A and B are shown apart, each in its own frame.
Chain A
Amino acid sequence: MRESREYSTSNTNSETAFTNETKEASTVSDGPEFLRESTEISAEVSGGKYGSEVNDYLSNTELMTSQEIAEAAHCETKENMIAEHGECMSDELKDMLESDETRDKLTVMSSEEYTQVFEDVDVNVLGHCDFEGNIYMKDISPEIVKHVSTHETMHLCANRENYYSENGEYVQVSGVREITTNEDGMISDNNQGLNEGLTEMYTMRELLNRGENNAAYLISSYSEARMWSQRMEKLAGKERVEAAYFGQDREGLRSEFNRLNDGNEKAWESFSRDIDLLEYSRSEAEIEQAKWCLMSQYSTMARNKYGIKEF
């Protein structure tokens, strides 16, 4: 099974294109948002709060190779996530993140080379992270590389587990996402959209904390999943969300979410499914229904959270 936290890109080659600028579109392949190369991307970085050495490093990105830019973003992200969320992380995860080996597993390559090396990957994929923690990405632009590297590294910082459940199902966990394969090979993929939303929420925060506003806002600024992740975090609590995403306490988040929904035990599943519909469905009716359900849940949760009684 191929792990595909991918960003992707594609040339349009369209006769109907209305601009002469390069048209490379990209997306997190298992997520809702498309990424897009800007033809006028500045590599200027405003520095940040993480020490002069790193600031010097980042403020000279115009002199850096894409590989160096990706590695700088990767290392900064790891360092900051350990500092901010390390208490939730397992020792195994922290050990892995503290190791320099993860940087050695990060490779930026030309689009041509990427396509040649990963023949089985869709032609328009921009990069991916496999289950061994190897991150590969195409050299598109400095800002895209920063965002992609931060996003992929965020996935790496999220809790990862593989185990067999009591009933013999093989479970793969990444953040809040759970992929379950039963003995007959049937696959159940849960919390996909929500996991992408959370990953992008933490990615945006990390980029903005580093002063990388261009890289942050160039991509996926209006992700519905990210915004719903933020709303959920505000209602269910920052600590519970980080414990679920970076740690192994997904149940704590689920039960608090359900409690705020008047104890409805199906509330979390419903929320997760509606986020997936919002992001991946092409049916207007389905999306409309999902939005109604999400707002209905939000209304209940917010009133319970803030002690506002609806009569």
Chain B
Amino acid sequence: MTVVRVVCDILEKRYQNISINDDEFISGISQYTKDNHLEMLMTVNETNNENIALVESFIEPLLELPEEFIVPYFVYYDEIKEVKKLSGIIFDIAYDVYKQRSMPDKIDEYEKRFMKLAACLYNCDGIRTMVEATISETIMDLDFAKGKTDKFSMRLSRRVSVGKCPAE
């Protein structure tokens, strides 16, 4: 039994309304298990029940979330990951601009890709609360990088303040 199958079975058992045959849903689960190295919990020397128990124990914190969060989390897993990746790239560009380094030509391309994904995720109720702050911060970084504002995003103000005092 693969770890993806194990996760699917656990979700199916836990949530009655989940459509496990959805390709995007399974693809999201597959990527999630890969990113988190869940295969480490599946060894041939252990029984299926032991493997399942270990995987279930790991994903338990996720399963405590309401169903309306779980389904879109996996369905849009790749998009969420890509948005976070682009957000990180744009943040680094904003920091480079702050440090008066040159701004890469690709900023418009990154912005276009980011805004397209952001618009898609922002309109999904289950996902919106998870990504909207990241989206908002990234928009601020975009504006800063492109000289539209001199205001820092929260994360940028944190980065440029590094070393001043510890947060707490």
Contact = CB atoms under 8 A, between A and B. Distances in A.
B1 interface: no
A282 B45 CA distance: 37
B37 A292 contact: yes
B66 A26 contact: no
A24 B137 CA distance: 9
A4 B151 contact: no
B19 interface: no
B40 A234 contact: no
A308 B54 contact: yes
B133 A179 contact: no
Contacts of A13: 140, 143, 149, 151
B129 A218 contact: yes
A199 to B, nearest CB: 11
A14 B154 contact: no
A225 B53 CA distance: 22
A229 to B, nearest CB: 8
Given A34-B134, A122-B157, A5 B168 contact: yes
A255 interface: no
A230 B41 CA distance: 18
A10 B136 contact: yes
B61 A227 contact: yes
Nearest to B167: A30
Given A124-B157, A222-B73, A282-B92, A12 B165 contact: no
A29 B149 contact: no
Interface in B43-93: 43, 45-46, 50, 53-54, 57-58, 60-62, 64-66, 69, 73, 85, 88, 91-92
Contact of A34 (B88, B137, B148, B166): B137
A153 to B, nearest CB: 16
A213 B65 CA distance: 10
A172 interface: yes
A272 B103 CA distance: 35
B132 A29 contact: no
A291 interface: yes
- Secondary structure of the B contact surface, majority rule: helix
B167 A4 contact: yes
Nearest to A8: B154
B20 interface: no
A26 B140 contact: no
A222 B136 contact: no
Interface in A12-26: 12-19, 23-26
A208 to B, nearest CB: 9
B40 A295 contact: yes
Given A282-B91, A295-B37, A10 B140 contact: yes
B35 interface: yes
A1 B133 contact: no
B57 A10 contact: no
Given A29-B158, A36-B133, A302-B54, A17 B139 contact: yes
18 contacts: A1-B166, A4-B167, A5-B168, A6-B167, A11-B151, A16-B139, A16-B143, A17-B139, A23-B139, A25-B140, A30-B168, A123-B151, A172-B168, A231-B61, A295-B37, A298-B58, A299-B54, A302-B58
Interface of A: 1-6, 8, 10-19, 23-27, 29-30, 33-36, 38, 122-125, 172, 174, 177, 179, 187, 189, 192, 213, 217-219, 221-222, 226-227, 230-231, 234, 282, 284, 291-292, 295-296, 298-299, 302-303, 306, 308, 310-311
Given A13-B151, A27-B137, A292-B37, 17 more contacts: A3-B168, A4-B167, A10-B151, A14-B142, A16-B139, A18-B118, A30-B168, A36-B132, A124-B157, A221-B130, A222-B65, A222-B69, A298-B58, A302-B57, A302-B58, A308-B50, A310-B43
